[in-house]
Amino acid sequence: MTRANREASIERNTNETQISVRVNLDGTGQYNVSTGIGFLDHMLEQLSRHSLMDLDVKAVGDLHIDFHHTTEDTGIAIGKAVGRALGDRKGIRRFGSALAPMDETCTRVALDASNRPYLVWRVEFTREKLGDMDTELFREWFQAFAQGAGLTLHVETFYGENNHHIIESCYKALARALREAVEVDPRQANAVPSTKGVLGGSL
C-alpha cells in the first residue's frame, strides 16, 4: 500500500452479521451503502460525501432481533478498513477538527488519528428512536468506529432541538475532521507525525 493508493477492504463475518467494506481515503465521496437500516445508511452516506472518502458497505445482520449488532459491527468494519488504509500513518496531518452547524444545532468533532482509540461522547437526544433506529445506538457506532480506526475521538453537540439534526451534524463534523486528519501533509510526507517515531501504544 502507498499513499497514492490508500484503499482497503474488510470482511467481517459472525453469527450475527456478515459485512463487507471497501474504503478509499483519497476518493471523491462516492458511496454505495446498504445495511438494512435506512437511517444508518443515510448517515454513512453523509460520512462518505463530506470526508471525500469513497465508501462501499454491504451488511446483512440479525435485524429481526434489533439493530444493535448491525450498527456496532458496521462501525467496527468501517473503522478497521480506515485503519488499514492509513497503514503506518506516515505523512498524515494526524489531527482534525470541525464544527458542523445544521439549522438550530451545532456539533464539534476533534480527533487524533493516533492509533490510540478513545471516545468522548457528549451528545444528548430527547427521543428514543429516529425512524426505527434507537438513538442510543449512535454512541455504539462512534465507539466501534473509533476503536477500529484507532482514533481518539471527541464528539460534542453544543445545542440542538431536532434529533435528526443532532446526529446528522455529528456525522458531518466527523467527516470533515477525518478528512483533515488523514490528509497527507506535503511538508512531512515521509515522516510519522509523532516525536516517538511511531503512532500507537502507551503515551
Instruction: Give residue 173's pLDDT.
Output: 98
7-188 folds as Ribosomal Protein S5; domain 2 (3.30.230)
DSSP string, 107-176: EEEEEE-SS--EEEEE---S-SEETTEETTHHHHHHHHHHHHHT-EEEEEEEE-S-HHHHHHHHHHHHHH
Average pLDDT, consecutive stretches of 10 residues, N- to C-terminus, the chain (203 residues): 76 96 98 97 98 98 95 98 94 96 98 96 96 95 98 98 98 98 87 68 44
Between CA 110 and CA 154 the distance in angstroms is 5
The pTM is what?
A: 0.93
